[in-house]
Amino acid sequence: MNLTLGIALFLPLLTPSPPVENAPPVTRNVAIVVHDGVELLDFAGVAEVLQAAGKRGPTEDPWFRLYTVAPDEAPVVSQGFLKIEPEYTISNCPTPNIVVIPGGRSSVLYGDPEFMEWIRRTVPQCEFALSVSTGVFVLGYAGLLDGREVTTHWSTIEALAMSVPKAKVRTDWRFVPSGNLVTCGGITSGLDGALHIVASTLGLATAERTARYIEYTWFPPPTLVEHYPDVNTRLGEKEQLLERLQLAVDRSEWDRATQVFLTLADRFADDGAAGYRFGLTLLENGQLDLAVQVYRRNVKLASGRHLYNSYYNLACAHALAGDKDQALGALTNAVAAGFQEAQLAREDDDLASLRGDDRFELLLRQLDERPGSGHGAGGHGAGGQNGGGRSGGGR
C-alpha cells in the first residue's frame, strides 16, 4: 500500500500566491563558491537539495536560483578529474542572498586577499552563509566566527579550535546554525545544513519532501524543528493548506490531516476529485472511520465518475469495518450513480464480507444484466491483495 499522499494529486487546486510585504525576494540567489581542489559532494550535495526544493510550476520562478562563483574566470578542478567553468566571478556575480562555501583545498580561498574581502563584505549581508567541512576556515580567517558556535569535519576540529579561539567549536551536531551562519561537518553533513535552510525559508513540509526525494534520512535536532515554520509562508492560503495536509499525511497524523482537508474543501470547493483521492489515502492506510467521514461529505458535492467511485469506496470502508447494511447501501448508490464493474465488486477483497449475502448477489446479477457492464468505472485501483481493488482507474 502507498503510505503517503503525493501533493501532485491536488495540483488542480493550486492558485497563484498573493504578494507578501516586507518579505525576502521570491527567488533567492544562491552563490556556490568553487575553487581549485573543491570537494565535489560538499557543493554538489548542497546544490542538489536547494535545486530540488526550489522547483515550482513551469511558468514560475524557482525559490532558489543557483550559480557558481569563483575568485576569477579560470576553470577549476574538483577531485582531480572534474573540470568546472565558473558561471561568475566575485566581481560580476549577482548579489547573493545565500552563500555556500564548500571544503577541499580551502587555503586557495583564504590565501586570496580579494576573495576574502568579498567574503567579509558579502556574508554579513546574506540571509544565510553555509560552509561545509573546511570551508568554515574561510569564515574564520575572515573574522566572522567570533562568538559563534561552529563545526567542521572531524579531522580538522582541533585545527579550527586553534584558529578561532573566540568561537565555540561543537562536535555533537552534524551542522550548527548560529545567526546567519550554518557550519557543517564533513561532506554529507552539507545535506543536513542545506535542508535546515530549506526548512527555515520554505517550511518543514518542503524540507521533509525534499529529503524524501533525494532519499536521505534527515534528523534535525528537536530544538530546531520547533522553530521551523510548518509551511512556506510565501504561499497563498490554499497552497499553505495543501502543504499542511501533505505534512500531516507524511507523519501519519490522520485526524489532523482530515481536519486540514475538510477546511481546504470547505473553503475551496472542487468537483470531488480531491475528496475522492484523499479518502482513498485514508482507506489504504486503514483509517476507516475517517474515510467514511470524507466520502460521506464527498458524495454530496461530487458528480460523474468521482461520485460513483466515492460511493464505491465508501462501500469498501463500511465493509472493512463490518457494517454490511451501510456497505450495501453505498454500493447500491454507486450503481445508481453509474458504477458498472460487477466483476471488480465480486473480486474485491475489501468487499469480501458481503459475499454470500443475498442482497449483494442480487445487486451484482442486476448489474450483470446491464448493457456495457464491466466497463464503466474507469478501471481497477491498486488496493486489493488478489487482483481486486478500489474503484477509480489507478491511483
**Strands 149-150 and 82-84, how do they pair?**
unpaired
- For residue 382, what pLDDT is reported? 34
- For residue 24, what pLDDT is reported? 66
- For residue 301, what pLDDT is reported? 84
Phi/psi-derived region of residue 200, left when phi > 0, alpha when psi is between -120 and 50, beta in every other case:
alpha
Dist. CA 272–CA 282, nearest whole Å? 15
Which CATH architecture does the domain made up of 237-368 adopt? Alpha Horseshoe (1.25)
State the Cα angle at 107 between 103 and 112, rounded to 5°.
120
Question: Length of the chain, please?
Answer: 395
Name the fold adopted by 22-225. Answer: Rossmann fold (3.40.50)
Dist. CA 270–CA 9, nearest whole Å? 13
Dist. CA 229–CA 123, nearest whole Å? 24
**Strands 76-78 and 28-33, how do they pair?**
unpaired
Which residues face 99 on adjacent strands? Answer: 31, 129
Residues 6+ apart with CB under 8 A from 6: none
Q: Phi first, then psi: what are they for 132, rounded to 5°?
A: -125, 135
Dist. CA 176–CA 220, nearest whole Å? 10
Longest Cα–Cα distance of the chain, Å, equals: 88
Residues 6+ apart with CB under 8 A from 255: 290
The grid coordinates of residue 100 equal 555556500
Residues of the chain with CATH 1.25.40.10: 237-368
Q: Which parts of the chain sit beneath pLDDT 50? A: 1-21, 375-388, 393-395
In the numeric block, the cell 499542511 is attached to 244
Edge-to-edge strands of the sheet including 28-33? 88-89, 64-70, 28-33, 98-101, 128-132, 181-184, 175-178
Which runs of consecutive H residues, i.e. helices, occur in 127-272?
136-141, 157-163, 189-202, 204-213, 222-225, 237-250, 254-267
Task: Check residue 11 and report its DSSP letter.
Answer: G
The grid coordinates of residue 37 equal 581542489
Task: Tell me the per-residue pLDDT of 254-304, one tens digit each, with 9 for 90 and over.
Answer: 999 999 999 988 888 766 788 888 999 999 999 999 999 999 999 988 888
pTM of the model: 0.74
- For residue 23, what pLDDT is reported? 58
- For residue 17, what pLDDT is reported? 42
Residues of the chain with CATH 3.40.50.880: 22-225
